[in-house]
Amino acid sequence: MSRSTAVKQYPLTPEDVTKTKQVVVVDIDKALPESKAELVRTSVVGYCEALEKLEPEYKALVEAETQVYSASSAKKAGVLRRKYVKLRGSNGSEGTRKVLKDDSLLEGRVIDGVFGKVRDAAKDREEQLKEIEEYIEREEKRIQDENQMDRYRELEGYILKEDELHQKLGLMTDERWEEYFLEVRNAFQAHEEKIAKEKLANDRMNEAAPYSLLIPDYSAINWAELKEKRFKAILDEAKDKWDKQEKERLKAQAKAKEQEELEERFRKRLSLLTGCTLGEKGAYYKNNIVLTVREIKEHTEENFAKLLFKHLEVYTKDQEEEKAKKDAEMELIRKQESEKAKLEAARHLDEQKKREEEQRIKSEEERLMALKNSTDGELLRKYAVEWSKLLIPVCVSEEGKTVERKLRGMVDRGIEWINANTEKI
């Protein structure tokens, strides 16, 4: 796989790694006491020598890969980078640095400085090795992204519905992509062909629908598969049948309408023949035929009017005579009823007078008997009761109202006086 960019250049060259050990030793001897310097020197020199041991492997890898990065070199770069990480990590120089530092600020700075050189040397190599290690992955991701975009654009016009594979087009091999593209395109084309056939079938069925009853096996016909010539032949044959049936239907409809009009005319004319009854042969009046059925239906309006007028003259005369006869009979009955009512009224009046007289006599006898058995006080109080029942006229004028009020007062006081003075009588 060809490299797309130049190799990044780092500030620390292979020669710098060798010089680091010499600089570190000088810095330690200058800044630290002898006892502490010896301990630090031993540790730092050991890590610098470890760096020197890794340098040939690093140099061989970088120089060999100045033009191409392969999967094999990426793997080697990863292994070598992890060695550098381990050398400077918490279990390497960085851990030793923390142990050797004490509370002296100056010593701490010296120790940080010398161990920092080891750390920087290792870290410098780590970064360059990491770039080599991850180059293959980055290139694969870039190519996958490009493939994803290019393939999706190519596939986009054939997608019927979204599929999870549409997000993984860049991961497919070229062979798998070709197969998948053909699958999707063929499915789309089959779908389009199916829709086209269904539309053609629906269009033809809709065009033939008005004549469906005249087309044998209408529902079973595969309309989409018919040749255009065959379809037109079926449709034309059905249209010819329909035209023939439509002519026959209109003819029968006209005949039925004519018959209906005759029947309606017959009913209307029959209704005008007042007093007539419909018999087997025609309209009868007093058992004499006035018009036959055919005459009623087929006579012109003028002839029918003449015959109708003639019949109505006879009918009107008969009705008038019949009415006069009925009127005379009713007058006789009315007179008889009137005489009968008068006699009945006289009888009722005599009976009522007789009952009223009997009641009057009975009431008088009862009154006399009551008077005979009553005391003077009871008689006077009964008189007061009868007096209270007397009706006093209701007056309208002011003078009359004054008299009315005084009269009512006199009656009320008189009744009270009688009742008050007869309690002990």
* 162 domain-assigned: no
CA angle 149, 150, 154 (to 5 degrees): 115
How much is the pLDDT for 14?
Answer: 42
57: domain CATH number is 1.20.120
Quick one: pLDDT at residue 106? 43
Query: By residue range, what is the domain housing residue 208?
Result: 173-258
Which residue is it, tokens 């161990």? 115
pLDDT band of 3, cuts 50, 70, 90: very low
Residue 131 lies in a domain: yes
Predicted structure pTM score:
0.32
- pLDDT(231) > 60: yes
Please check whether residues 89 and 193 belong to one and the same domain.
no
Indicate the average pLDDT of the chain: 77
b/e per residue, 108-124, with b = 16+ CB within 10 A? eebbeebbbbbbebbbb
Q: Over the stretch 127-154, which tens digit does the pLDDT of each residue have?
A: 767 777 677 777 778 888 787 787 778 8
Range of lowest pLDDT (24-28, 95-99, 123-127, 170-174): 24-28
> In 3-state terms, what secondary structure has residue 277?
strand
Same domain, 124 and 242: no
pLDDT of residue 85: 73
If you average pLDDT over residues 154-177, what whole number do you get? 74
- Residues 269, 235: Cα–Cα separation, whole Å: 50
Query: Which residues, at least 6 apart from 415, have a Cβ–Cβ distance to it below 8 Å?
Result: 384, 387, 388
Judged against a pLDDT cut of 80, whether residue 74 lies above it is answered with: no
Give residue-wise pLDDT tens across range 389-422.
778 888 889 998 999 899 888 888 988 888 888 8
Which of the two residues, 306 and 107, has the higher pLDDT score?
306
CA distance 100 to 93: 10
> For position 120, what pLDDT does the model report?
67
Dist CA 373 CA 393 (whole Å)? 35
Q: What is the tally of structural domains in the chain?
A: 3
Domain identity same for 134 and 200: no
Is residue 201 a contact partner of residue 175, using CB atoms and an 8 Å limit? no
Q: Greater confidence, 33 or 142?
A: 142
Residue 290 lies in a domain: no
Please give the average per-residue pLDDT across 7-15, as a whole number: 41
The helix or strand, by DSSP H or E, that contains position 228, with its residue range, turns out to be: helix 228-272
For residue 236, give Cα distances in angstroms to 208, 222, 227, 233, 258: 10, 18, 14, 5, 33
Residue 1 — very low, low, confident or very high, per pLDDT cuts 50/70/90? very low
Q: How far is CA 407 from the centre of its chain?
A: 89
| Same domain? 132 vs 182 | no
The Cα 73–Cα 177 span in angstroms is 29
87 and 199 both lie in a single domain = no
Give the Cβ contact number of residue 275 at 10 Å.
16
Q: Which residue has the tokens 């991701």?
A: 141
In eight-state DSSP terms, residue 291 is E
Q: What's the CA gap between 199 and 204, in Å, rounded?
A: 8
* 11 — pLDDT class (breaks 50, 70, 90): very low
Indicate if 32 and 122 belong to the same structural domain.
yes
Domain contains 168: no
Do the Cβ atoms of 251 and 286 come closer than 8 Å? no
The 10s digit of each residue's pLDDT in 80-126 is 777 777 777 666 667 677 776 654 444 555 556 656 666 666 677 77
Measured in whole angstroms, how far is the alpha carbon of residue 261 from the centre of its chain?
51
Contacts of 71 (CB under 8 A, 6+ apart): 136
Same domain, residue pair 149 and 224: no
Q: Are residues 136 and 188 in the same domain?
A: no
- Region 287-310: mean pLDDT is 82
The reply to whether 213 and 97 lie within a common domain is no
Query: Which of 258, 273, 303 is where one domain is finished?
Result: 258
Kindly state the DSSP code that residue 286 receives in the 8-state scheme.
Answer: T
Residue 330 is predicted with a pLDDT of 92
| Contacts of residue 18, Cβ cutoff 8 Å, sequence gap at least 6 | 52, 55
E-only strand ranges, 160-215 = none
Name 387's Cβ contacts closer than 8 Å, sequence gap at least 6: 411, 414, 415
Query: pLDDT, tens digit, for every residue of 322-345?
Result: 888 998 999 999 999 988 988 888
Are 18 and 153 found together in one domain?
Answer: yes
Locate tokens 């409809």: which residue?
A: 253
pLDDT confidence band for 271 (50 / 70 / 90): confident
pLDDT of residue 77: 75
Residue 69 confidence (pLDDT): 61
- Note the maximum CA span of the chain: 176
Give residue 53's pLDDT. Answer: 79
Share of the chain above pLDDT 70, in %: 77
More reliable by pLDDT, 288 or 69: 288
Same domain, yes or no: 36 and 125: yes
The answer to whether the CB of 73 falls within 8 A of the CB of 65 is yes
Average pLDDT over residues 27-43: 65
Asked if 208 and 86 sit in the same domain, the reply is no
pLDDT band at 25 (very low <50, low <70, confident <90, very high): low
Burial of 84 (0-12, 13-18, 19+ CB in 10 A): buried
